[in-house]
Amino acid sequence: MKPVLKANIFALIVVVGQVLGGMILVPIFKTMNLTLPTLMILTQLIFLLVPAIIYFIVTKESIKDTLKLNPIGFEQILILIVIVLLSWPVAGFLGGVSNIFFENLVGEAFELLDGLSLPFMIFVMAVMPAICEEITMRGIVLSGYSKKSTLKAALMSGLIFGIIHLNPQQFLYAFALGILFAYIVRITNSIYATMFCHFMFNGTQVLLSKLVLSIPGFKEASEALKTASKMEIFKSLIPLGVIAIISIILIVLLLKLLKRTTDNKPALNISKVSNGNYDTIELENESMINIPFIITVVFYCIYIYIQYF
């Protein structure tokens, strides 16, 4: 099977599995009186990690090559820290734009989890996604696009990353982060780089939520914001939008700096994954828009329409 087709079939299975599997298993879990954190951990394991394990059993691909289990250097880590910090204004702006049209379920989830200890909250919200989502997206799915340009692979994997969240409020910033993380993996040839970035991004989100929720009057102010008009919210986002544009420019420069810190040639290193019996030209010409991808997008749109409209 061609690599892009294989990657898109896997993505389709993950998306459909989350929806249909959730409809079946979540009610069962609730009858067991499982807590929300436990439910979140189980859903990550069952709907992301288990399919990844099955994928490797069925395809017999090299785990090391597919997941790019290569070390990263200290200098790269320092650059990645700055990149993640700069990605916050971008994600904040895109999340704010989404909030104009959709309810912020992520913020509500943080409020529900606020009673947890900080270490456990970080484990649930940062450690688990950094492992499970990265293995699924920047590991298996991105490896299927190894013969495609970095831009095409980043856009495609970013789109699917936005889709697997199954939440329209998260889609825009998840799409943007998916693009960024794909570039980072292509540059460093290491999934550890984006596991670190993912953990740091979510972990910072946890720390900030703990801090903000402890501020007197924050919840009241948050409720008042919900009654603001869309135009008022949009106007309030303009300064953040300017900061986001500056951040994007700096991120691009840092990605170029990151590229100079490594002698790896990702296009050569990762192209050996899943080549099968197809020659290079045929793989490069394989369309990224195929039936599994179209089904994934249509399924996602129908699901969002039913759930949020």
Confidence at residue 236, expressed as pLDDT on a 0 to 100 scale: 86
**How much is the mean pLDDT over the chain?**
89
Q: Give CA separation, 275 vs 64, 183, 223, 278, 284, in Å.
A: 15, 21, 53, 6, 11
| 104-127: pLDDT as tens digits | 777 667 677 777 888 999 999 999
The answer on pLDDT for 275 being more than 90 is no
Measured distance CA(250)–CA(254) in Å, rounded: 6
Q: Which of the residue ranges 23-32, 42-51, 238-247 would you say has the lowest mean pLDDT?
A: 23-32
Residue 211, pLDDT score: 82
Q: Does the predicted model carry a pTM greater than 0.85? A: yes
DSSP string for 242-263? HHHHHHHHHHHHHHHHHHHT--
Whether residue 108 contacts residue 226, with contact meaning beta carbons closer than 8 Å, is answered with no
Burial zone of 12 (CB within 10 Å; 0-12 exposed, 13-18 middle, 19+ buried): buried
How many structural domains are present in the chain?
1
pLDDT tens digit sequence for 148-181: 999 999 999 999 999 999 999 999 999 999 999 9
Determine the average pLDDT of the residues in 242-263. Answer: 95
**pLDDT surpassing 50 at residue 254:** yes
Residue 221 lies in domain: 3-308
pLDDT at 115: 76
